[in-house]
Amino acid sequence: MQSDDVIWEIVGKSHCSFRVKVPEKNQQFCRNAYNLTGICNKRDCPLANSRYATVREREGVIYLYTKTIERAHLPSKMWERVPLPNNYMKALEMIDSELLYWPDYMIHRCKQRITKITQYLIKMRRMKLSNAPKVVPIKKKLDRREARREAKALRAAHIEKAIEKELIERLKTKAYGDQPLNVNEDIWKQILDAEKGKEKLDAELEDEDELDEEHELEEEEEWDGREFVSDDSESEFGGLSDLEDMEPAQDDEEGKSNDDGSEEEGDTDSPRRKRPPKTSLGKRKAVDDAKRPRKRVARVEVEYEEEQELVDPEKESIPSW
């Protein structure tokens, strides 16, 4: 049995979960979404009135909600919802027709609501047209979480180390070119030397597989400087002195190759390379061309490749030692 008075006795006078009191103003508000005015009193309470009407807006469409006593026992179907036309005048007319014979107070309040809603919808649309900045709420929890994560990421990043590593890598891979402007000369030389050392190591590794070939090549090389000359042409070459020249001919070869090498480099700044030791001979010293007097003699100049077979004298695999 539905009795509005009984409901109001409880809800209005003792406790209602929708009520909000404002003690300074001695005012009571109703948070119920269906309330017509938002104020808590018997006339406006949607719980304590079995016949009630409101106007609410959802996603730009205005609806009229009505509640009648015939459906009071069906809570899920209590409110009847009718969409009102977009046209303001027509909407007012519809209210009149739907709420025919209803209390004037309710009709009046519904119409007031429609007016207000229409006005704020218009304003919303106009605001969207103007490129107003989007106001975004500050989410404290999110901000705190992100700040913490940022600090941890910073610690995990080791930025300066990473930058150092990257710069050194660029230096070593010669990304700065052959004559970098951002390095100290000594350091650049060190890097180039290290590279050559690496090349030498690589070459040595290759050589281990090609021992036999090396041996053959060696023999050829030893012969290359020496020529078998007939008696007739002896005078051209100048007798014994030739032989003296011939023996260190390999020096010449190396000196030549060295020259070629240094010419190839083209940089006066680059250091004199330490020539790799040859197998058949002991230590080799870098000899300046200017220092060694060269006899101007008809010679056959033969070019040899830089990377010559190099066998590590320490390797036990060479029995001929």
Partner 1 sequence: MERRKLEKKNPELKKKRQAENVPMTIDNTRAYDPSMVTVPSGLHPKSTILAEFSARSKSTVPIKESSTVGSSEPSGSKVTQDPNPAPPPAVPAEFMDPEHAADIANDPFAAYFDPDSERDPSEPPKVLITTSPYATAPTWAFCDELVGVFPGAQFFKRKKKSFRSNAPPLGTIAGWAVKRGYSSLIVVNEDHHKPNALTMIHLPAGPTAYFKLTSVELTREIYGHARASPHYPELVLNNFVTRLGHAVGRMFQTLFPPMPEFEGRQVVTLHNQRDFLFFRRHRYMFKSTERTALQEIGPRFTLKLRSLKTGLPSNNPLGAPMKPLEMAKEDEEPEQQYPHIVEEVAKSEDNGEAGNSGGEDEEAEEESARVEKEETKRDEKKGARKGEEFAWAWNPRMDFKKRNFYL
Among 7, 117, 191, 246, binds partner 1 (CB under 8 A): 191
Stretch that binds partner 1, among 8-16, 72-80, 190-198, 266-274 (CB under 8 A): 190-198
Asked if 43 and 31 count as a contact pair (C-beta separation under 8 A), the reply is: no
Q: Which is nearer to partner 1, 180 or 261 (by Cβ)?
A: 180
Distance CA(94)–CA(53), nearest Å, equals 13
Question: How many whole angstroms from its chain centre is CA 40?
Answer: 58
Pick one of 69, 124, 168, 201: the residue that binds partner 1 (CB under 8 A): 168
- Shortest CB 266 distance to partner 1, Å: 20
Q: Any contact of residue 187 with partner 1 (CB under 8 A)?
A: yes
Which residue's CB is nearer to partner 1, number 130 or number 320?
A: 130
Q: State the distance between the two ends of the chain, measured CA to CA, in whole angstroms.
A: 121
Nearer to partner 1, 137 or 239 (CB): 137
Q: How many CA atoms lie within 13 A of 195 on its CB side?
A: 11
What letter would DSSP give residue 310? -
Cα–Cα distance measured from residue 318 to residue 214, given in angstroms and rounded to the nearest whole number: 11
CA distances to 56, 109, 187, 194, 232 from 173, rounded to whole Å, are: 71, 81, 14, 12, 57
> What are the φ/ψ torsions at residue 55 (nearest 5 degrees)?
-125, 125
Q: By CB under 8 A, tell whether 124 contacts partner 1.
A: no
Binding flag, residue 140, partner 1 (CB under 8 A)? no
Residue 52: name the closest of 25, 89, 87, 79 by CA.
79
Does residue 154 bind partner 1 (CB under 8 A)?
Answer: yes
Is the Cβ of residue 92 or residue 246 nearer to partner 1 in the bound state?
92
Binding map of partner 1 across residues 85-104, x = CB under 8 A, - = no contact = xxx--x--------------
Q: Which helix (H) or strand (E) holds 172?
A: helix 159-172
Of the candidate residues 147, 201, 229, 286, the single one contacting partner 1 (CB under 8 A): 147
Q: Provide the binding-site residues for partner 1, judged by CB under 8 A.
A: 61, 83, 85-87, 90, 128-131, 133-134, 139, 142, 145-147, 149-150, 152-154, 156-157, 159-160, 162-164, 166-168, 170-173, 175-176, 180-184, 187, 190-191, 194
